[in-house]
Structure 1
Amino acid sequence: MNNVQRNALIALLYYRIRPRRRFWVHQIRRLRVNNGDYHRLVQELRLDDDLFQRYFRLNQAEFDDLLTRVGPRIARLNTSFREAIIPAERLAICQRYLATGDSFMTISFSYRVASCTVAGIVGDVSWAIWDCLVEEFMPVPTKQDWRDMAEGFLQRWNFPNCLGSIDGKHVVIQAPPNSGSLYHNYKGTFSIVLLAVVDADSIPGHRCRWLWTEQ
Structure 2
Amino acid sequence: MFIELLERVGSRIEKQDTFWRKSLSPVLRLAITLCYLVTGDSYKTLSYGFRVAHNTISLIIPKTCKAITAEYLKDVLACRTMPEQWKEHIAVTCPPNGGSHHYDYKGFHSIVLLALVDTDYKFLNVDVGTNVCSSDTGIFSTTALREALEINTLGLPEPVPLHGDDTPVSFSVIGDDAFALRSDSQ
Structure holding more helix per residue: 1
- Structure 1 residues 74 and 144: alpha-carbon distance in aligned structure 2, compared to 1, 3 A threshold: same
Cα distance between partner residues in 1 of 2:56 and 2:63 = 11
Q: TM-score, normalised by structure 2?
A: 0.51
Partner of 1:21: none
* Larger RCO (alpha carbons 8 Å, 6+ apart): 1
From 71, 75, 83, the counterpart of 2:10: 71
Matches within 5 A, 1:39-78: 62-78=1-17
Aligned-partner residue type, residue 110 of structure 1: G
Specify every segment of 5 or more residues in structure 2 that has no aligned partner in the other structure, as ranges: 93-102, 107-111, 116-125, 129-143, 155-186
Write the distance in 2 (CA, Å) between the matches of 1:92 and 1:151. Answer: 30
**Deviation for aligned residue 1:128:** 0.4
How far the C-alpha of 1:148 sits from its partner, in A, is 2.3
Q: Over the residues paired in the alignment, what is the CA RMSD in angstroms? A: 3.4
The one of 91, 113, 122 aligned to 2:61: 122
Alpha-carbon distance between aligned partners in 1 of 2:145 and 2:83, rounded to the nearest angstrom? 40
Q: 2:114 aligns with which of 154, 161, 167?
A: 167
Which of 123, 143, 147 is matched with 1:186 structurally?
147
1:148 partnered with 2:88: yes
Q: Note the alpha carbon deviations across 1:116-160, whole angstroms, 9 max, x for none.
A: 1000000100100111111101111232222322999xxx9665x
Asked if the contact 2:114–2:127 (Cα under 8 Å) also holds between the matched residues in 1, the reply is no
Match of 1:10 in 2: none
Q: Distance in 2 between matches of 1:151 and 1:91?
A: 29
- Give 1:85's match in structure 2, choosing from 24, 35, 38: 24
| Contact 1:94 1:125 survives alignment (8 Å) | yes
Matches of 1:184 and 1:157, distance apart in 2: 25
Q: Looking at CA atoms only, which structure, 1 or 2, has the larger radius of gyration? A: 1
Percent pairwise identity: 29
- Number of residues paired by the alignment? 113
AA partner of residue 147 (structure 1)? K
Pairing 1:94–2:33 present: yes
Q: How far apart are the structure 2 equivalents of 1:151 and 1:63? A: 24
Q: Is the 8 A contact 1:184 1:190 kept in 2?
A: no
By how many angstroms is 1:184 displaced? Answer: 6.2
Opposite residue 186 of structure 1, the aligned amino acid is: E
Query: Paired residue for 2:140?
Result: none
**Structure 1: distance between partners of 2:2 and 2:152:** 31
Q: TM-score, normalised by structure 1?
A: 0.45
